[in-house]
Amino acid sequence: MVTLSKTLITYPSAPELANIKIQSCLDGDTCTTTKRGKVKLAYIYIPNLQGKKADLISAKAAKDHVNDLISGSKVTIRRIKENKYGRTVAELFKGPVNIQEQLVEKGFARIYERYRSQCEWSK
């Protein structure tokens, strides 16, 4: 995994952003809300738990970390779009911490290069 050598940026809680409650995370980058919606974490790649590209050890570590961090918690969401599977693609914040940024910083995820320019925190 690629990690960034800088410290995490903290963001003020943005009142214009919506709050949601995360029920659980199915893997490191897809979570369900208590309203039964699914949220795909934007800009990052985390190894899959299943399929041809599965990396069970890394994927399980990422899933466990993100579940420990946000399952059962209210988070702030910055919606970006809806993907072809009907999931909301978004950035999530727990207080002032950007969840995607933390996952990258801690080595659980890497930034998709094609989206790097859209990631304020990756610059």
What residue ranges do the domains of the chain occupy?
18-116
DSSP-assigned letter for residue 86: S
Q: What is the mean pLDDT of residues 88-107?
A: 93
Q: Encode pLDDT of 36-84 as tens digits.
A: 899 999 999 998 888 888 788 898 999 999 999 999 999 999 998 888 9
pLDDT at 7: 46
Quick one: residue 43, left, alpha or beta (phi over 0 = left, psi -120 to 50 = alpha)? left
Cβ neighbours, 10 Å, residue 37: 13
Q: Of 83, 80, 88, which Cα lies nearest the Cα of 32?
A: 88
Q: Is the pTM of this model over 0.85?
A: no
- Work out the pLDDT band at 16, boundaries 50, 70, 90: low
Strand ranges, E, within 14-73 = 18-27, 30-33, 38-41, 44-45
Top CATH class of 18-116 equals mainly beta
Question: How does strand 38-41 pair with strand 88-94?
Answer: parallel
